[in-house]
Chain A
Amino acid sequence: MDVPVRPPKRLLLNAYLLFFLVHDNQVGVGVLGFQRLIAEFVYQDAWIAVLLAGLFVHVTVWAILRTLRLYDPTDLYGVHRVVWGKWLGNLLSVVYLLLLAAPVLVIIQTYTEVVQTWLASDFPSWFLSLVLLSLVLYGALGGLRVIAGMCVLGIFFTVWMVLLAYFPLQYAVWTHLLPVWEADLPSMMKAVQKMSLTLSGFEILYFVYPYIRDRQQAMRWAQLGVLLTNLLYLTAMLTATVYFSHEQLMRNIWAQLSMLKIIQIPFLERFEYVVIPLWVLVLLPNLLLYTWASTRGLKRIFSLSQKKSTIALLFVVFAAGFFFNTRQKINTLNNLFNIVYFYAVFLYPLLLYPIAILRKKWQTRQEVAKG
C-alpha cells in the first residue's frame, strides 16, 4: 500500500462539495429522536449541551484536516501506515473500516424501526433493508462523484424541512428554557457524550480528503458544513424544548416526528407521513458514504476489488440485519455505538494529531541524519 493517494484527475471533487458531504453525512436518523437522550440529563439546558458538542466537533474536524495535511495527499489508512507502522497501522485501519461499516447496519435498522413504528407496523424488515441496500449498491458502483451528487440532491430536496419548525413554534412556551445553566458539569459531560452518534459523520473527511482538487480550501468548507449541522441541531433541540414539557419529551422517543404531527395545510396534514419516506434521501448519502469509505479501506489495505467488496459488504449487512430484530437489540446496538463512536470519532483524531506531528518530526530528523 502506498501512503499517498493520487486519484485520476477526472475523479477529483471541488472543495465546496465537502460542505455537502460533511453536513449530509452528519445528519441522519439521529436527528429524529436525539432530543430525549440529551434532555434526560440536563433538562432545559439541553441546547447548551448541543452547542458544546458542536464546538467539540469543530475542534475535531480541525485536528482531522491538520493530520491529513501532514502527509498530503493521503487518507486515514495512509496516515495509520506512516504513524503506527505496517502491522499496528493496518490493524487499526481494519478496526476503523469495521467501525465505518457498522453505521450502515445501525442506520438501516434504526430507520426500519421508525418505519415500523410510524408508517406500517407490518413492513418486513428484511425487505426494507433489501431495497435500501440495492439502492446503495447501484449508487456506490457509480463512485464518489455520484455519491457526492446524491449528497447535493439530498440536501436540495430536504433542506426545506427546517421551515416546518414554524408550526410547533407557534405553540412554544419559552419559559421552558428557564432557568439557564442549572445542570452540573458531570451531567453536562454525559449529555455531550450522548450527542456523539448524532453528530458523527465528519470522520468521512479522513477518506474523501485525497479526492479534493483544491485541498487548501478543505478546512473552510468542512467547518461550514459542521456549522450548518450544528445550527440545525440547535434549532431542533430548542424547538423540542419549548414545544414539549420535560415529562412529555421523556415520553417521545422520536420527538422530531411527534412535532410534525400537528402541521396542517389545506390539502395536507400529518407531515410525518411525508417526512419519513423523504428521509430516504437523507439516509442514502450516509449509507453510500460509509459503504464507500469502508470498502475503500479494503482496497487500500488488501488490494481487494472495490466492486466485489461492496457487494460482499452489503450482503453481510443484509444478513446481519436478521439478528437485530427487536427494539431492545437495536437500542443496545445504538447505545454501544454511541460509546464506541465517542472514542473512535471524537477523541481518537485529537490523539492521532500530536502523535502524527511527533512521528513526522522524528522522520525528518532521521532523514536529515541520513543526509
Chain B
Amino acid sequence: MSVLWRPSRGLFFLFIMALCLVSTVALYAQSEVMPVQNPTVTESVTSENSAEINNIKNAENKLDSKESNLSEKALSEGAEAMASSEDSIESLNSDSNKAPKIPQKPYYFESSRSSTLAVILVLLIFVAYYTFQAQRGREMFIRRISGLSAIEDAVGRATEMGRGVLYVPGIMDMDDIQTIAGVTILGHVARKTAEYDTDLYSPMTRSFVMSVAQEVVKQAYMEKGRIDAYRPDRINYLTDDQFGYVAGVGGIMMRDKPAACFYLGTFYAESLILAETGNSIGAIQIAGTAEPSQIPFFVAACDYTLIGEELFAASAYLSKNPREVGSLKGQDMVKIVIIAAIVFGTILVTLSKTPVGERLGFATAATTFMEFLK
C-alpha cells in the first residue's frame, strides 16, 4: 500500500519547496522586468492625460448618477457627457499613440493567478501536516454523514427484497473530479454488493468511465473473494447523449426495479428525471453532486443527498484511511481560514461605512484587504 507513498512524501515536500522558491524568484524577477502589471498598458500617460482621464471619469460618474434617476433630462445630459468623454478618449488614444511605448519584457510567472497559488500552497501545507499527524496515529474526528452511513442499509435493503442496486457515476468523463469521486464510491458499494451477493447495475454514459468502473468493481469483487459473481455486462455503456442516457437508465429502472439507486457525480438536467423515476419504483435513493443548481432537485426527490464537498469526503469517510482522513482535516482547516477571512472582511467593510470607521481609516484598510483577497 505504501509502495509509492513513501517516495511521494519526499516529493510532496520537495514540490512545496520548489513552488515556493519558483514563485518567489518569479515574483522578484517580475518586479525587476515589469513595472506595470497589465502587459497591454503602456507607460505613456502624461500629467495632461491624467487630468483628462479624471474628466472622463467625472463624466462617466455623472452619467451613472443621472441614469439612476431615470429622468429623460438626466439621460440626455449623461449621454452628452458620455459623448464628450468618448471624444476625450479618442484624443487621448491619439496622444498616447504618438508617445513612445516601453516594450514589455515577457514574464515567467502569471501573477494574475497568484491568489490560486496561495490557496493551493496553504491547502498543501495543511493537508501535508494533518496527513503526517494522522499517520503518526493521531485520532481525527469526522462528523457523521448520513448519506454515506446509509449506503450499507440501502444495499442491505436491496438484498432483503431480492432486487438489485443501480449506480450512476454522473454523466461526465474521467477528466472530471466528481466522476472520479463517484467511481471511488462505486468501489465501496461494489464491495457491499459482493459481500451481500446483490446484483449491481451500473450503466455508463462514457466508455472511458465504463472501462475504469469495470476494473474498480472487478477489484472489489476479487477482494471479497466473489469474482464468480462479477458481471462485466452489467457495467455497460449506453450512449454519450444526455437524454438518450436518461431514457436508457429509466428503462433499466422500470424493468429491473432496483431497490437502491445511487447517483454520485456530475449531473445536469437529468438529475430530477432520474431521481423521480427512482422514486416512482419505490427505491431508496442516495445522491451526491457538487453542482449547486442540481442539489435542490436531489434534496427534493432523494432520501439522502451529499452536498458539494461531502461527495469528495466520501472516500476518506468510507475507507477511514488515515492519509485521506488527514487530508480531509487539512481541507477543513483551510475552510476555517476562508471563513475567518470572510468574517474579518465583513466586519472591516461594515466598519468602514460608519462615520467613526471612516475617521479611523477603516475604509483604506477595507480596500487594501479586498485588493489582497482579489
Asked if A pairs with B, the answer is no
